[in-house]
Amino acid sequence: MNESFILFISCKEHVAGDALLGRINMTWPDAFDHRGVSMVLVAVLVVVLLAGLACTWFLFVQSSAGNGLPGSPSFLTTASTPTQELGCSNVIQYDESIPPAYQGMYASLSQILDNFNQTLSGIQAVASHEVIYATELLPADSNIGVRLLSPQAMQGVINYLNAIQKLGIDGVTIDISYPVLVPTFPNYNQYLNFYESVVQQVRSRGMKIDVESETPLLVGYPGLPLGSVSYANLTYSTYVSEDRAMIQTVITDLHPDYLNIGTETDTLRALLHYPAISTPQGWGTYIDSLLTGLNKGSTKINVGIGSWDPISYLYATLNDSAIDAIDVHVYPVYGNYLSILTRIGELSEEYNKPIVIDEM
């Protein structure tokens, strides 16, 4: 198996939060072949869009059989197959129709995806590969703050994992942002104990783990209990030093399969305002500083871009042998934001690095 075509694909909050708690059912085969990396990306984008438009649909992806395209996904549609046949007998079914209020949006987005899908017809087929379908483990997101330390928090994680396990989900993405696991951060030991317990729960279900540690806590965002956190006096050198130490803690204590240390270049700049990371060259230097002296163990390090970012930021890190995977955040689908995915697929093959899509 060519490792460059192992993809870790994870849905993000506003799409997967309700969807994977039972408001829709998403069932996938363990792995399926395809006609290029981008075919997988489009298939997943369709799932995400449909889930976002109508959280009461039942979606089912089936591998092709005799359709002239060996190994490609054969259909993606509302399904009449009973959930009992799919191993989801305990999941409540809802109205499968598209709500009238979303018909226009559905038609517009469907046309965008159909047009993009046509551009893939000339892409050469690649070898079979493993795809890990995942979702964000929302009840363990570090931006929840001190509420993670409440007695009810772990039960929420367990309930969530039980629900997505019944849907056949292969892995989870866990947001563990700076400075939650920096020793000087309030309640550091409690947070570390919490995440060690979370990892134990995930591993007991045979799921893969991708940790997002690419930006600091989202200070200033409405509804997040992070009012006591401030980056106003945080120097660039202190941030890099502390973040690198925290990354090592994540690897040493939590042992994730994948660890994202840098993707949304603009989000990082918006939070920290460091001129040093305002150019592709500066971004490459910053990532290299995080990797210096890092003992990765068996954890694979992901670095990449958002689909809206200039691809020059990705080029600035591709040659670093310490980076194991290309990370991508996919928002939105209109304009030219999908076209960059075909180029990222080509770079994955060229540099023999798997793709991790941990937000979409």
How far apart (Å, rounded) are the C-alpha atoms in residues 300 and 324? 5
How far apart (Å, rounded) are the C-alpha atoms in residues 1 and 268? 35
User: What is the reported pLDDT for 216?
Assistant: 95
Bridge partners (DSSP) of residue 210 are 173, 258
How far apart (Å, rounded) are the C-alpha atoms in residues 325 and 4? 8
Most confident region among 78-87, 98-107, 186-195, 223-232 by mean pLDDT: 186-195
Going by their DSSP bridges, the two strands 355-359 and 325-329 should be labelled as parallel
Residue where a domain terminates, one of 118, 149, 171: 118
- 291: closest CA among 278, 281, 302, 275? 302
* Residues 222 and 93 occupy one common structural domain: no
Residue 250, domain CATH: 3.20.20.80
Residue 268 lies in a domain: yes
Residue 88 lies in a domain: yes
How far apart (Å, rounded) are the C-alpha atoms in residues 325 and 318? 9
* Residues 304 and 190 occupy one common structural domain: yes
Q: What is the mean pLDDT of residues 315-327?
A: 96
Residue 125 lies in a domain: no
21: pLDDT strictly greater than 50? no
User: What is the reported pLDDT for 13?
Assistant: 46
**pLDDT tens, residue by residue, 295-308:** 999 999 999 999 99
Residue 175 lies in a domain: yes
> Which 8-state DSSP code applies to residue 253?
I
Residue 168 lies in a domain: yes
Cβ atoms of 337 and 325 within 8 Å: the answer is no
Look at phi and psi of residue 319 and say left if phi exceeds 0, alpha if psi is from -120 to 50, else beta. alpha
* Residues 169 and 313 occupy one common structural domain: yes
* Residues 83 and 173 occupy one common structural domain: no
* Residues 199 and 98 occupy one common structural domain: no
Residue 124 lies in a domain: no
* Residues 254 and 308 occupy one common structural domain: yes
* Residues 114 and 159 occupy one common structural domain: no
Residue 99's domain spans which residues?
3-8+15-118
* Residues 148 and 24 occupy one common structural domain: no
Three-state SS string over 19-62 comes to HHHHHCEEECCCCCCCCCHHHHHHHHHHHHHHHHHCCCCEEEEE
**pLDDT tens, residue by residue, 37-66:** 333 444 444 444 333 332 222 222 222 222
Residue 330 lies in a domain: yes
Q: Is 206 exposed, middle or buried (0-12, 13-18, 19+ CB in 10 A)?
A: exposed
How many alpha carbons lie under 13 Å from residue 320 in its C-beta half-sphere? 26
Q: How many domains does the chain have?
A: 2
User: What is the reported pLDDT for 228?
Assistant: 75
197: pLDDT strictly greater than 90? yes
